[in-house]
Copies of this chain bind each other. A is one copy, B any other.
Amino acid sequence: MAMQPEILELENFLPYRLYRLADDVSREFSRIYKDSHGLTRPEWRTLSGLGQRGTMTATELGEQSAMHKTKVSRAVAELERRRWLTRTPGENDRRVEHLTLTRAGLAAYREMVPLAKAFEQALLAKLSVNERASIVKGVLSLEIALDRRQRPSAEEYKTPAGKG
């Protein structure tokens, strides 16, 4: 075996491929909230988190949607400015603020959820049944391996609107 210097093939390097893939998907998806409402990703995640859970504090939001304190803080400030959410001081603990979507915020959320789901379905629809199973299983296993998994359910990725 020749001792030629070891070469790393960037195009086949998993961290690079994952990043690139996620970035492409995310960029594509961002149209949904960026083009329609001019939201940033942290803002979208905030809206999404509150729409999903109803009420959270900034810290909880950060945990749920994997955002740093400062991102949460700024996103919340912007959504408040738009009057898409309100802050309610905690009764027991005055440091925390309970965040809730306003009617307007909820409306925006409800408008975007179907688009988001459609996006995901369209993406998965480009794959075969086996490939769908693979990406779901693969991603989940890596999440577990990194001990970063939040919720384990994978049942939802079965099939987009009919088999095949």
CB within 8 Å of B: which residues of A? 5-26, 28-29, 45, 48-49, 51-52, 64-66, 106, 110, 113-114, 116-117, 119-120, 123-124, 126-128, 130-131, 133-139, 141-143, 145-146, 148, 150-154, 156-157
B18 close to A117 (CB less than 8 A): no
Question: How many copies are assembled?
Answer: 2
Further contacts, 10 of them, CB under 8 A, given A11-B64, A13-B116, A128-B141:
A10-B48, A12-B152, A12-B156, A13-B120, A14-B124, A16-B45, A21-B139, A123-B142, A135-B135, A135-B141
Residues of B near A142 (CB, < 8 A) are: 21, 25, 123, 127, 131, 135
**In whole angstroms, how far apart are the Cα atoms of A146 and B152 in the complex?**
26
A119 close to B154 (CB less than 8 A): no
A25 close to B146 (CB less than 8 A): yes
Residues of B near A113 (CB, < 8 A) are: 5-8
**In whole angstroms, how far apart are the Cα atoms of A19 and B156 in the complex?**
19
A11 close to B116 (CB less than 8 A): no
Nearest B residue to A149 via CB reads: B11
B137 close to A131 (CB less than 8 A): yes
Nearest B residue to A116 via CB reads: B8
Known interface pairs A12-B151, A29-B15; A5-B139 also in contact (CB < 8 Å): no
Nearest Cβ in chain B — how far from A88, in angstroms?
21
Nearest B residue to A143 via CB reads: B21
Nearest Cβ in chain B — how far from A119, in angstroms?
7
Q: Which 8 pairs, one residue from A and one from B, show the smallest C-beta to C-beta distance?
A: A135-B138, A22-B22, A126-B145, A131-B141, A134-B138, A18-B22, A11-B150, A138-B138
